[in-house]
């Protein structure tokens, strides 16, 4: 019984933390870096890519075959993106973009 109760409490805490809300004035106190420079080898620049889209961000650059979805549903912000000419496939890995 204690195990079930402990699991229920941890589950509730997780969902409380994961349920982060971006209220209208959230970005006002943010001090965004004005000239953000990402490492071109390992990162991708994402305009307004930070929490609640307040600031620009550098995301981890994912290569072909890398996982491009969070490991679990609601696992928080996923700050990674498939590299140029790649997209996140249905299987959750980066694949070559299909020409349309």
Question: What domains can you pick out in the chain, each with its CATH number?
Answer: 2-96 (2.10.80)
Q: How confident is the prediction for the chain on average, in pLDDT? A: 79
pLDDT at 36: 92
Tell me how far apart the alpha carbons of residues 8 and 10 are, in angstroms, rounded to a whole number: 6
Eight-state DSSP code of residue 24: T
Contact 7, 15 (CB under 8 A): no
For the cut 60, the answer to whether the pLDDT of residue 16 exceeds it is: no
Q: Give the tens place of pLDDT for each residue, 23-71.
A: 888 898 888 988 899 999 999 999 999 888 999 999 999 999 999 986 6
């Amino acid at each position: 019984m204690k195990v079930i109760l402990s699991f229920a409490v941890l589950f509730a805490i997780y969902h409380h933390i994961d349920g982060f809300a971006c209220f209208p004035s959230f970005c006002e106190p943010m001090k965004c870096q004005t000239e953000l420079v990402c490492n071109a080898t390992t990162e991708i620049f994402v305009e307004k890519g930070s929490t609640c889209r307040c600031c620009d961000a550098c995301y981890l650059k994912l290569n072909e075959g890398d996982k491009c979805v969070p490991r679990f549903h609601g696992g928080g912000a996923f700050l990674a993106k498939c590299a140029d000419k790649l997209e996140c496939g249905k299987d959750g890995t980066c694949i070559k973009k299909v020409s349309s």
